[in-house]
Amino acid sequence: MMILGIETSCDETAVAVLDIPDLASARPRTGKSPEEIKIRANIVSSQIKLHAEFGGVVPNLAAREHVKNISHVFETALKTAGIANFEKEIDLIAVTHGPGLGPALLVGIAFAKTIAMTHDKPLIGASHLEGHIFSNWLNNDFKEPKFPLLNLVVSGGHTELVLMRDYNDFELIGETMDDAVGEAFDKVARLLGLGYPGGPEISRIAEKGNPKKFPLPRPMLHSKNFNFSYSGLKTAVLYLLRDLKEKGVAIDEQVKADIAASFQEAAVDVLIQKTKQAAREKEVSAIFLSGGVSANTALRTAFKNMAEENGLTYSYPPLAYTGDNAAMIALAGYFAYQKNGSTGWQNVDMKPNLGF
């Protein structure tokens, strides 16, 4: 089965072609992974530079860029995948229908509907968050997981703990009460005068910093649930900077590196402790990490160590698939199609607040 994936929920215009050879024999509902997933094309056109000067994604600007880029990204993906005859070779179109920015989602959906209608192909709306989770399957040596498993999804818009009982069975068990962890990285980066997106910048300078230099709070670490809160941690960094300046401390490169390292350690610590508690309480044997923040080396290392110390199997996506991409959307579409089939292109609508 050849699946075309389209992603425009935020600031990447992405189109991918996935080849899953054995649709008939791979029955996700019975808990079986597809035998083989071939990524024939995975084209991502990033708008990061455009939004950087605003310090964050501007929805209308993102939508306009998607309009400008999508045809070219689509053509490039088909060419890369060696698709000469769309009608004959493509079996299913999957498009992100949420969650995400309304104007941005609309562009991908309108584009997907147009090609689904003209070529008479089934269209399915796929969840961006399920896509992030399924990015763990875009791994050549991926082993079939034992359900239930626990997912920690960490991105610019989400910090969620999701219990996955089967390929199509998700339950949200914890989420952030305010800022997402990626958003906190971005905001702290801005406080330190670093570029956007802040996550990679913080993690880069944190390597030279001392994570024990500035004790920062671990919000909600001892709450009796699996929820998170990151706005207090960001505010703590704001006050720390203010106090240091009042004391006459120069905010030089080393002080910035120490603050970045201390912030990163606090942010990661809460994620790890909550995941550990949830894994124990829900009695899972596998934990999966995903989302843009899963590119963070400190988080990946802490996740792996915690899993090994607790006898859990673990997975995180290949680095190339941690950020937004359409291969993960094609795969989420594949599983959603297994469950529901296509509702017809007429019935795919944007769902900016889609959850689990």
- Interface residue list for ligand KG4 (CB under 6 A): 10, 155-157, 182-183, 185-186, 197-200, 203, 291-293, 295-296, 323-324
**Could you count the other beta carbons within 10 Å of the beta carbon of residue 178?**
14
Nearer to ligand KG4, 230 or 314 (CB): 230
**Nearest Cα to Cα of residue 163 among 273, 282, 281:** 282
Give the separation between CA 204 and CA 257, rounded to whole angstroms: 9
Give the CA radius of gyration of the chain.
21
Q: At closest approach, how far in Å is the CB of 156 from Zn ion?
A: 7
Q: At closest approach, how far in Å is the CB of 129 from ligand KG4?
A: 8
Q: At closest approach, how far in Å is the CB of 151 from ligand KG4?
A: 13
Give the separation between CA 42 and CA 60, rounded to whole angstroms: 25
| Residue range at the interface with Zn ion (CB under 5 A); choices 68-76, 148-156, 239-247, 269-277 | 148-156
Q: At closest approach, how far in Å is the CB of 196 from ligand KG4?
A: 8
211 binds, among Zn ion, ligand KG4, none (CB under 5 to 8 A by kind): none
Quote the longest CA-to-CA distance of the chain.
70
Q: At closest approach, how far in Å is the CB of 285 from ligand KG4?
A: 26
Say if residues 147 and 282 touch (Cβ distance below 8 Å).
no
Give the separation between CA 292 and CA 24, rounded to whole angstroms: 32
For the chain, the first-to-last Cα distance in angstroms comes to 26
| Residue range at the interface with Zn ion (CB under 5 A); choices 62-70, 118-126, 153-161, 180-188 | 153-161
Nearer to ligand KG4, 121 or 300 (CB): 300
**Nearest Cα to Cα of residue 301 among 269, 328, 274, 259:** 269
Burial group, residue 24, by CB count within 10 angstroms (0-12, 13-18, 19+): exposed
Q: At closest approach, how far in Å is the CB of 225 from Zn ion?
A: 24
Nearer to ligand KG4, 34 or 211 (CB): 211
Nearer to ligand KG4, 23 or 177 (CB): 177
293 binds, among ligand KG4, Zn ion, none (CB under 5 to 8 A by kind): ligand KG4
Nearer to ligand KG4, 70 or 194 (CB): 194
199 binds, among ligand KG4, Zn ion, none (CB under 5 to 8 A by kind): ligand KG4
Q: At closest approach, how far in Å is the CB of 294 from Zn ion?
A: 10
Q: Which of 241, 324, 326, 331 binds Zn ion (CB under 5 A)?
A: 324
Beta pairing, strands 286-290 & 12-19: unpaired
108 binds, among Zn ion, ligand KG4, none (CB under 5 to 8 A by kind): none
Binding mask of the shown chain, residues 9 to 48, with x at each position contacting Zn ion by CB under 5 A:
----------------------------------------
According to DSSP H, which parts of 293-326 are helical? 297-309
Retrieve residue 240's tokens.
């720390």
Q: Does 155 bind Zn ion (CB under 5 A)?
A: yes
Nearer to ligand KG4, 160 or 183 (CB): 183
Give the separation between CA 101 and CA 312, rounded to whole angstroms: 35
Give the separation between CA 32 and CA 338, rounded to whole angstroms: 12
- Give the distance, in angstroms, between the CA of residue 32 and the centroid of all CA atoms in the same chain: 23
Counting Cα atoms < 13 Å in the Cβ hemisphere of 31 gives 8
Q: At closest approach, how far in Å is the CB of 253 from ligand KG4?
A: 19
219 binds, among ligand KG4, Zn ion, none (CB under 5 to 8 A by kind): none
Q: At closest approach, how far in Å is the CB of 323 from ligand KG4?
A: 4
Q: Can you tell me whether residue 205 is helix, strand or coil?
A: helix
| Residue range at the interface with Zn ion (CB under 5 A); choices 47-55, 151-159, 211-219, 347-355 | 151-159
Say if residues 309 and 171 touch (Cβ distance below 8 Å).
no
